[in-house]
Chains A and B, each alone.
Chain A
Amino acid sequence: MVAEAAQRLSANAEIRDLSSKPAARLAAGTVNRTSPMNRRPFALLAPPLLAILLLGAVPLVLVLVWSFWTWDPATYWIKPDMSLAGYSAILDAGRWTVIVSTLLKAAGTATLCVFLAFPIAYVVQFLSGPRLQALLLALITIPFFTSYLIRSFSWRLVLGRTGIVNTMLQHIGLTQAPVDWLLFSNFAVVVGLVASYLPFAVFPLVLAFRRVPPDLIAAAQDLGAGFWRAVATILLPLTFSGIFAGFLFVFVMTAGSSTEVQMLGGAGASIVSVMINDVMRVANYPLAFAISTVVLAVIFTLVLVGNVTFKLSSLFAEEDR
């Protein structure tokens, strides 16, 4: 018996070596990794993977590499190097304050968007029938249908000295003269940014809310929780991945925005993308890429930390209930 089993084992070992015969390997119990069925996902993924590599990864690597090159202001010429000149130029000319203010503005806008998106997602997911839900989601996508330029410009008409808001305020007698800080100010910039990027916060939150059975809120209330308590102890923890994803989306989009700031910001308003643009005009690519690298590093860190802490991937995971 034992000898027979040993013989069979060694026979199996031989079969395993005949890797050209899938059936034999299946019989020997090895995983069939190269079968057509298992190869298909990679074949399907190849074109997008190639696109991401060529259009995403390669330029990013170039940005990183060129940020260490040196720039000659006399000839506007750049040459290969391993210099930190670009990075020190960020510190020297106070350009870092623009980076910091951009990141702060992005964080502020993202926070505001999340605060606004949370009740929207609640209404969409828990208080709407299927038809109202579809209508609300369609309304939320409206900002996508117009260009950023036109949308920003239309805010000028709303917020300007002779805009709708000022006319209304004067008409009902709340103010005598037009309110100046409505336009060409940080306020106007944030209004424009929120209006543009709010949908990016709403959709991940709706996705996160969809994974929360409405019965959980009822259960919390059944056990004695008031509405706000139920939101804080049940809804908030269960939708944190969505909150963070929404924050991140808006943060990234805002950090890279330029139109809203240029159209609605005051004379002194600056933002990273505008600064990069200015530097590029004099062909100082190392500095431009150094700034880009710093901002990218901040964003990548956020994504990594977020993914570990809040399990962003769970937002798209199969429902486990």
Chain B
Amino acid sequence: MAIAIDIQSVTRAYGPIKALDGIDLAIKAGEFFTLLGSSGCGKSTLLKLIGGFDRPTKGRILFEGRDVIDVPANKRPVNTVFQNLALFPHMTVAENIGYGLKLRGLSGAALKAKVEDALDLVELPGFGPRGIAMMSGGQRQRVALARALVMEPGILLLDEPLTGLDERLRQQMRDEFGRLHRRTGATFILVTHNQDEALSLSDRMAIMHQGRIEQLDVPAQFFARPANSFVAGFVGIDTLLKPERIEQHSDGLRAVIGGQSLRLRSPMGSLGDDSLVAIRPDRLRISESLDGADLVLTVVGTTFRGLQTDVHLAFADGQSLVAVVSSDSPSATLAHGARVPLSLLPDAAMLLSGLGMPPAA
């Protein structure tokens, strides 16, 4: 039932502006796939093309090997949970869910049974006769999900479905998506700008930027091997430092920053002059003594974040990085100007191509 999608060099241009610029993407049948990116990156445009609400300027879109560009939205085996849900306000919950089934010719007891099954699936049994206005935000979310899933689509598109929900509900619905994905086995495609959603749900994900895919991989790889500095920044590796120079040593590459040298993990592919050193905050440790420290930096401030505290540390040239420490550790109360020894765990620092560069080959 699940459908594989093959997107082949798809471009969607609005006049001179390319919302999508030569996208190649193969999504496996039954996969939970996420398109991650900030607004305007083209992720919603791509979703519209898959849903059949728009046509690509160039390129092909195949479902199970069949070109679907000329198939209109109402004839595609795709259903969508829209960003603002798009529930029909003049219909009850049951009428909303039954809308598509009715168009398929279902009626009477068969229709009722399917609608009730769908309500059970999203854990809203007995809510059928209610008006949409009487449902809470989270319940509406579930109705929208039920309305799409009751059609038993081969592909379910989720267009930023969690925006506008509070954090607790967001968490709850996120778990719900995972459960429904396992339950239905359909290909799920989620569009979001929220990396937590993407990381916790996806089998694979793509980070998009300016109409291109910057990196396409399983979530863990975005941290282990970010394709470039944009991707690193997007997944929360915020520290990007400009090296004075890169040196080739016997034990590998080293970057010199503010007069100090630090070991780099070997980069992927070739890098230009605009390369940056990304530092993973989770792989930094504040050491006890200066002996054997990889770096010695100066404290320029601390930010209390509840359980954890960010310690801002500066190099001699003014560039700074953040070390995350437990709020009850002595490091959390380091004075401004203190000299702090740091040790770097393996792969803490990596060399990445600069912002907006095409992904490394």
Chain A positions near chain B (C-beta within 8 angstroms)? 213, 215-216, 218-226, 229, 233-234, 237-238, 320-321
Contact with A along B64-104 (1 / 0, CB 8 A): 00000000111100111011101111100000000110011
Q: Please measure, in the bound complex, the distance between the C-alpha atom of A261 and the C-alpha atom of B78, giving whole angstroms.
A: 55
**Interface membership of B151, Cβ < 8 A:** yes
Q: Is the CB of A237 within 8 A of B90?
A: yes
Q: Is the CB of A218 within 8 A of B73?
A: yes
A222 to chain B, nearest CB (A): 5
Q: Please measure, in the bound complex, the distance between the C-alpha atom of A124 and the C-alpha atom of B53, giving whole angstroms.
A: 20
Assuming the contacts A222-B79, A223-B100, A223-B151, asked whether A320 and B133 have C-beta atoms less than 8 A apart, the reply is yes
B187 to chain A, nearest CB (A): 16
Q: Is the CB of A223 within 8 A of B82?
A: no
**Interface membership of B212, Cβ < 8 A:** no
Q: Please measure, in the bound complex, the distance between the C-alpha atom of A265 and the C-alpha atom of B185, giving whole angstroms.
A: 69
Can you report 20 residue pairs joining A to B where beta carbons are below 8 Å apart?
Answer: A218-B53, A218-B80, A218-B86, A219-B87, A219-B88, A221-B72, A221-B73, A221-B74, A222-B53, A222-B73, A222-B80, A222-B82, A223-B100, A223-B103, A225-B74, A225-B103, A229-B103, A234-B88, A237-B90, A320-B89
Q: Please measure, in the bound complex, the distance between the C-alpha atom of A224 and the C-alpha atom of B79, giving whole angstroms.
A: 9
Q: Please measure, in the bound complex, the distance between the C-alpha atom of A223 and the C-alpha atom of B72, giving whole angstroms.
A: 12
Q: Please measure, in the bound complex, the distance between the C-alpha atom of A136 and the C-alpha atom of B80, giving whole angstroms.
A: 32
Q: Is the CB of B86 within 8 A of A226?
A: no
Q: Is the CB of A238 within 8 A of B103?
A: no
Q: B53 contacts which chain A residues (CB < 8 A)?
A: 218, 221-222
Residue of chain B at shortest CB distance from A212: B89
B155 to chain A, nearest CB (A): 11
Q: Is the CB of A222 within 8 A of B51?
A: yes
- Among A223, A233, A321, which residue has the most Cβ atoms of chain B within 10 A? A223
Contact residue among A213, A225, A229, A238 (Cβ-Cβ distance under 8 Å from B86): A213
Q: Is the CB of B74 within 8 A of A219?
A: no
**Interface membership of B204, Cβ < 8 A:** no
A129 to chain B, nearest CB (A): 11
Residue of chain A at shortest CB distance from B87: A219
Q: B80 contacts which chain A residues (CB < 8 A)?
A: 218-219, 222
Q: Is the CB of B82 within 8 A of A219?
A: yes
A126 to chain B, nearest CB (A): 13
Assuming the contacts A218-B86, A321-B89, asked whether A223 and B79 have C-beta atoms less than 8 A apart, the reply is yes
Q: Is the CB of B133 within 8 A of A216?
A: no
Residue of chain B at shortest CB distance from A216: B86
The A-contacting residues of B in range 325-353, CB under 8 angstroms, are: none
Contact residue among B73, B84, B133, B148 (Cβ-Cβ distance under 8 Å from A213): B84
Q: Please measure, in the bound complex, the distance between the C-alpha atom of A101 and the C-alpha atom of B19, giving whole angstroms.
A: 58
Q: Is the CB of A220 within 8 A of B89?
A: no
**Interface membership of B263, Cβ < 8 A:** no
Q: Is the CB of B90 within 8 A of A238?
A: yes
Residue of chain A at shortest CB distance from B82: A215
Residue of chain B at shortest CB distance from A215: B86
Q: A238 contacts which chain B residues (CB < 8 A)?
A: 89-90
Residue of chain B at shortest CB distance from A217: B86
Q: B72 contacts which chain A residues (CB < 8 A)?
A: 221
Residue of chain B at shortest CB distance from A224: B103
Contact residue among A220, A226, A321 (Cβ-Cβ distance under 8 Å from B99): A220
B139 to chain A, nearest CB (A): 15
